[in-house]
Structure 1
Amino acid sequence: MTLSYRPVRLGIYSDTLVPRADGVAVSMEAAGRALCELGVQLEVVAPYKSKSHQSTLPIRSVPGADAWGRDYRLGMLRPTRNKPEYDVVHVHTLGPVGVAGLYTAWRRDLPVVLTWHTDLEVYRQHYAEIRLAMWLAGKAWRAGLGAPRGYQNGCTEVQNLLRAVDLVIAPTAKVEQQLDDLGCEAPTVVLPSPTLPMPAPSVSVAEIRRQLNLGVQDPILLSVGRLSGEKNDELLLQSFAELLKIRPDACLVMVGGYGDRRRVTQLVDRLGIGPRVRMPGVLPRAELAGYYLAADAVVICSISETQSLVAHEAEAAGCPLVVVDPWLYRGHERTRTFAPAEPVGLAAVIGKTLRAPDSTRRWAPRYRPAPLEHAEKLLALYEGLASQRPPAPGGVAAVG
């Protein structure tokens, strides 16, 4: 049996988009660009207008509103008579836009792929809106309103979502295990996410230290990621307070958006570490590259990471990396240092990891996997799914 190839028409649904610095937006952009190089005709549906995003992909902007107290937008899809002609739908998030993508696929009997980017069980502990959405969905589905295809009363809301997709992509073996623990019945493929190439640093190490008001020998401990509970920032700050007892000249630089800035700043004040903490916010990637070079160590305290592009970026910069998640350490023993997930032990490991600043260190990217390699594997999956259904006009032909 052979597959007569025509360009795959792909609908990508996401609640996030670059320049947001989260891993979903960055990896989706990298994969999307590579898919376009392979001739895939794709459209990204996202709640961002052309003036508020930096994506190079074809975007179908849908209405959205900034979420109060959050660093993301809530999309609002309205019913439309236009029927997008897709061969495959790929959903990257489970916010309003992502869920709308699932329903688009179900109503039109299209194959749907879901990349499990987020540890939903951890996130629902920190985001009331996720708990509310899952509760409302469960109530509606049990009442027979909008239930996913193949809905079963005995399954959880997450299990019912997973049962209704044709393929789940797990970025890591850790995610594959999480999906198994959740009772995922859909076929699952482990496919590591790509990342965008890091541009050359736009700012020098000396300039960064000047901006941060640090001496040339003050060790910089860098954390990159949203400042919010699921990233375990409480452990990060408590361990830094312990680190200052043995390295009072150290400085913690927390790069990222403010998921809950007031809580973070209150904790910094309570620990009395404010003079040695810097929070420059979200940085352009060219500037972030300079921060990686300036750092004497990078620490990842989160145990909810599903792909951890930050870890790969730190390694590409030749920066010592400390992690507390065993899954982030496994298979990377040569380039990462494991530490216990408690303040005193973590501080001790960081103290041993910090080394004298190296002005000769250069950015030497080692991207794993290459975006084009990732896209080729994705395309093979899309073609396999599309061949199992009658093709849309001009789309992928059926197996013959």
Structure 2
Amino acid sequence: MNIGIFTDCYYPQINGVVTSVMILRDELVKRGHKVTIITVKVPGHQDEEEDIIRIPSLPFARWKEFRVAVPLFARAYRRVKKLDLDVIHTHTEFSIGLFGKYMARALSIPVLHTYHTMYEDYTHYVLNFKPGKRVVKKLIIRGSKVYVKKFNALIAPSAKTKEALERYGVKNRIFVLPTGINIQNFQRTSPDHPRIQEIRRQLGLTPENRVILSLGRVSEEKNVQLTLRQFAFLQKTHPHVRLVVVGDGPYREKLVQLHRELGLEDVVRFTGSVPWEEVSYYYSMADLFVSASSTETQGLTILEAMASRLPVVVFEDENIRDVVVHGLSGHLFQDGEGLLKALGSALDNQEFTSHMADNAYAIVQSMSKEHFGESALQIYKTLIDEYASRNTCTLEE
């Protein structure tokens, strides 16, 4: 099978969409299929892999870490046309996604789309007052419904996303397919490993310091600010605990300012972005993982932490339903008071917390990258067969 994956986000960027696309590509190639990534050029980056078509791009408005393609697709059109694709899979609603839709029509092949982002949770980037946000939210819902209308099928990373799309009035067939985890990449490393010891030294951590880890894109909707505020209270009863915030994004400066206002300069560390190959060391270094975000479509970092046997404390949301079960595979909370209580309980009951981490590891085993790749492949085959069948019937008529 010859597959074209169209995405605005790809390596060297690091986020959930990039992780999903890279795992999907690797699994499809492993099964003997040809995969071409069509994405944007990133200044200063040179691909080592083949089968990547990059289109000139510009920074995207207020999200400077994201880029959108310059609308000059003639050369890319010719290159994609020569690929003789069987199916196109888009992972963005912006420039490259629109190009993917166009190419599917031009080549008369099926096209499907993974809906990674719940944009209604991001209205504060457009307008930050309630009446305006309601208007923007309605426009986003209507725009999402219109955008996906012509796709042969949609993939939702979670039941939460599927239910939201159905609430929007989307009529497309929707497959629920969570991104798989490369479980081997997140095997817990010994705390005596030289790289982990080096990271702890760089962060100024002593042997008696226990570490709470927040890892992911640093943006307002990830709600790291709630974690910081509750961590200030936690310090009164657990002075040897340290909070490490790994990642970068548009809200980082405000978080740094907030942690100074809270007097947390000596107990909170901001690392910024770290190389992808280093991420597993940060999971292994930590004693506890925390996520206060309520806007995830799947929560990949939560699953990665679970695969690392790292105990998790996460906001109770539909996206982790049946994965993080309170008291069985992690701690759940609904507000700041609940977060503080969950953190204290996890730190004070190490044996029970370790048992929950073992249960979480067992649960995440069923969410392998192999299952992800095989399921995506079956969806492609179904769409290609249906598309060919419809075209055959049309010709016969």
Q: 1:368 to 1:21 in 2, by over 3 A?
A: farther
Q: Percent sequence identity over matched residues? A: 27
Q: d(CA) in 2 for partners of 1:99 and 1:263? A: 34
1:221-300 correspondence to structure 2 within 5 Å: 221-300=212-291
What is the letter of the counterpart of residue 241 of structure 1?
A
Conserved in 2, the CA contact under 8 Å of 1:217 and 1:356?
no
Q: How far does residue 299 in structure 1 lie from its aligned partner after superposition? A: 0.4
What is the CA distance between 1:234 and its match in structure 2?
2.0
* Residue number in structure 2 paired with 1:105: 104
CA deviation after TM superposition for structure 1 residue 173, in Å: 1.4
Deviation, 1:329, is 4.8
The residue number in structure 2 matching 1:39 is 32
Q: Is the 8 A contact 1:19 1:54 kept in 2?
A: no
Question: Larger helix proportion, structure 1 or 2?
Answer: 2
Deviates more, 1:178-187 or 1:278-287: 278-287
User: For residues 15 and 108 of structure 1, what CA distance do their matches in structure 2 show?
Assistant: 21
The structure-2 alpha-carbon separation of the partners of 1:125 and 1:205, relative to structure 1 and needing over 3 Å to count, comes to same
1:5 corresponds to which residue? none
Unpaired segments ≥5 residues, structure 2: 390-394
> Are 1:332 and 2:331 an aligned pair?
no
Give the Cα separation in 1 of the matches to 2:112 and 2:106: 15
Q: CA deviation at 1:306?
A: 1.2
Letter of the aligned partner of 2:385 in structure 1?
Answer: S
Measured in 2, the distance between the counterparts of 1:204 and 1:355 equals: 28
Matched, 1:352 2:339: no
For normalisation by structure 2, the TM-score amounts to 0.81
**Map of 1:10 onto structure 2:** 3
> Which of 11, 21, 24 does residue 17 from structure 2 map onto?
24
Which residue in 1 is equivalent to 2:45? Answer: 52
Partner of 1:148: none
Counterparts in 2 of 1:216 and 1:357: CA distance versus 1, 3 Å: farther
- Deviation per CA, 1:308-356: give whole Å up to 9, x if none: 12112111221110011332253432221111222x3211210111259
2:65 counterpart SS class:
coil
Q: Superposed, which structure 2 residues align to 1:128-139 within 5 Å?
A: none
Partner amino acid, structure 2, of 1:172: S
Partner residue of 2:147 out of 138, 158, 161 = 161
Tell me what 1:173 maps to: 159
Judged with a 3 Å threshold, the aligned counterparts in structure 2 of structure 1 residues 242 and 290 are, in CA distance, closer, same or farther, namely same
**Is the CA contact 1:115–1:169 (under 8 Å) kept in the aligned structure 2?**
yes
Residues 377 and 109 (structure 1 numbering): CA distance in 2 closer, same or farther, change over 3 Å?
Answer: same
The answer to whether residue 174 in structure 2 is matched with residue 188 in structure 1 is yes
Letter in 2 for 1:198: N
2:296 maps to what in 1? 305
Q: Deviations over 1:136-155 (max 9, x none)?
A: xx8xxxxxxxxxxxxxxxx8
User: Residues 214-267 of structure 1, C-alpha deviation per residue, up to 9 Å, x if partnerless?
Assistant: 221122110011110121122122222222232222211010122232222222
Residues 312, 367 of structure 1: 8 Å contact kept = no
Q: In the alignment, which residue of structure 2 is the partner of 1:318?
A: 309
Residue 241 of structure 2 contacts residue 267 of structure 2 at CA under 8 Å; is this kept in 1? yes
How many angstroms does 1:270 deviate by?
2.4
1:390, CA displacement in angstroms?
A: 4.6
Q: 1:120 and 1:382 mapped to 2: Cα distance? A: 26
Note the residue ranges of structure 1 that are not aligned, 5 or more in a row. Answer: 1-7, 139-154, 392-397
Deviations 1:181-221 (A, max 9, x none): 22211001111211344267575433322111122112211
Residue 186 of structure 2 contacts residue 308 of structure 2 at CA under 8 Å; is this kept in 1? Answer: no
**In 2, Cα distance between equivalents of 1:41 and 1:157:** 33
Indicate if the aligned counterparts of 1:33 and 1:57 stay in contact, CA closer than 8 A: no
Structure showing greater relative contact order (alpha-carbon pairs closer than 8 Å, 6 or more residues apart): 1
Secondary structure of 1:44's match?
Answer: strand
Superposition TM-score, scaled by structure 1 size: 0.81
Q: 1:88 to 1:50 in 2, by over 3 A?
A: farther
- 1:51 to 1:367, Cα distance in 2 relative to 1, 3 A: farther
Aligned length: 362
Aligned equivalents of 1:114 and 1:193: distance in 2? 14
